[in-house]
Amino acid sequence: MTELPDRRLLLVHAHPDDESINNGATMARYAAEGARVTLVTCTLGEHGEVIPAGLRHLTGTALGEHRLGELTAAMRELGVEDFRLLGGKGRYEDSGMMGIADNDDPACLWQADVDEAARELVEVILEVRPQVLVTYDPDGGYGHPDHIQAHRIAMRAAELADDAGWRIPKIYWNRVPRTVADEAFARLQADLPGLPFGKAAVVADVPGVVADERITTVIDGAAHATAKAAAMRAHATQIEVAEPTAPYFALSNELAQPLFTTEYYELVRGERAAEPGAAKETDLFAGVTLGEAS
């Protein structure tokens, strides 16, 4: 077996850009610290709405190819070398938003057999042997079918990996504490006149917002804020980041929302290991026996 770094983090996301929005600072931090950071993206986002007018001719497979290039550029900004597509390029297609005809396409992720897709992810788990898995909650954060399916696949793969010889010690779901979201949107309203966006989103538009007490882990990504913003900016078909360094961005709906450089998680498998006197964990690997890979 190839020698593995002491710390190994696996993230499972639905489309290119989800990783940078949700976990960009976390990924940059651990990559900079020498951990192995592995990203598995389930689709190429072939049905994403394109923001720049000059790129709106891209649809379907052509858009997916372009978004793969954006993902590659984003990973370069975050310092992440190991990023993959579930089952290989083109294995699963974007399902589009919930309730549209694209959901019925046999090739889309929403129609995938969860166990079959999970077994493809198990292959990655057995190779990388992560101590930490990060993915979405059962609602996918906001109800997108591909996000829901990515959650199902990741959680099922963790179960199957247990039987195949590798138990992932800690599993986290992406979260944002409600008070943090409320405070960030209050700042956004004050800053909105100086931003390139006409209107603001609302807290309900942010995936994974929950009551503060559900947050178990807080990753301070301030040192990697520039990398996260650059990674998000690399996903130019999907994201517009306020210039030059304002902590705001917009998706294709053109509604401004906060760019969080502190990232939050809920531990759903494993023992919480907060530092003495600390209310929350500050390290996804807290309490993990490092270096174990067999």
Q: Is 18 labelled a binding residue?
A: yes
Q: Which residue reads 């394109």 in tokens?
A: 50
Nearest to 42 by CA among 164, 136, 172: 136
In three state form, how does the secondary structure of the chain look? Answer: CCCCCCCEEEEEECCCCHHHHHHHHHHHHHHHCCCEEEEEECCCCCCCCCCCHHHCCCCHHHHHHHHHHHHHHHHHHHCCCEEEECCCCCCCECCCCCCCHHHHCCCEHHHCCHHHHHHHHHHHHHHHCCCEEEECCCCCCCCCHHHHHHHHHHHHHHHHHHHHCCCCCEEEEEEEEHHHHHHHHHHHHHHHHHCCCCEECCHHHCCCEECHHHCCEEEECHHHHHHHHHHHHHCCCCCEECCCCCCEEECCCCEEEECCCEEEEEEEECCCCCCCCCCCECCCCCCCCCCCCC
Q: Is 151 labelled a binding residue?
A: no
Strands 199-200 and 170-177: unpaired
Q: What are the phi and psi torsion angles at 129 (to 5°)?
A: 55, 60
Q: Is 147 labelled a binding residue?
A: yes
- Binding residue positions for Zn(2+): 15, 18, 147
Q: Which residues are annotated as a binding site?
A: 15, 18, 147
